[in-house]
Amino acid sequence: MAVQKYPEPTCGALIFNSYGKIFLMKSHKWRNKYVIPGGHVELGEKIEDALKREIKEDTGLDIYEIEFICFQEFIFNDTFWKKNHLIFFDFACKTNSTEVKLNLEGQEFVWVTLKEALKLPVEPYTRKTIEEYQNINNKL
């Protein structure tokens, strides 16, 4: 395994369905906590293109109306399954897709309101993204 030399850019999203509920999935990589789907930005790839690709790979969902929420720094934190230095670019978006197809990173998923999400065992970076979205949009 190669030693990480630089921080890795990643992207993830709060995905809203037509009922105003967000998609969360449990991931073994995040100690079986609920997370937003997403992943790494590949070399030469725009962040929004990476987001669409990663969401499709992780969930089978197509997304649109992508809006930036925040960025966060993740530096060798124990909440992830391996020691990494990551930079998260988090977004909100919508989907009209109804069929979810989880890949191996997700063990189960839920569609919940923002308020319900904060009552679940959500990993800290996802929690901060939800709270930041609420602050920006004054929603709960």
pTM of this prediction? Answer: 0.90
Q: Inform me whether the pLDDT recorded for 139 exceeds 80.
A: no
Q: What pLDDT band is residue 103 in, cutting at 50, 70 and 90?
A: confident
The token duo for 78 is 């124990």
Q: Taking the domains of the chain in order of start, what are their residue ranges?
A: 8-60+79-137
Could you give the CA distance from residue 46 to residue 94 in angstroms, rounded to a whole number? Answer: 19
Q: Give the pLDDT of residue 4.
A: 63
Dump pLDDT digits (tens) for 1-26.
567 688 889 999 999 999 999 999 99
Could you give the CA distance from residue 111 to residue 129 in angstroms, rounded to a whole number? Answer: 16
Q: Give the pLDDT of residue 59.
A: 95
Question: Which residues are CB-neighbours of 58 under 8 A, at least 6 positions away?
Answer: 25, 37, 38, 39, 102, 103, 105, 106
Could you give the CA distance from residue 131 to residue 118 in angstroms, rounded to a whole number? Answer: 9
The token duo for 13 is 């999203």
> Coil, strand or helix: which one is 111?
strand
Under CATH, what is the fold of the domain 8-60+79-137? Nucleoside Triphosphate Pyrophosphohydrolase (3.90.79)
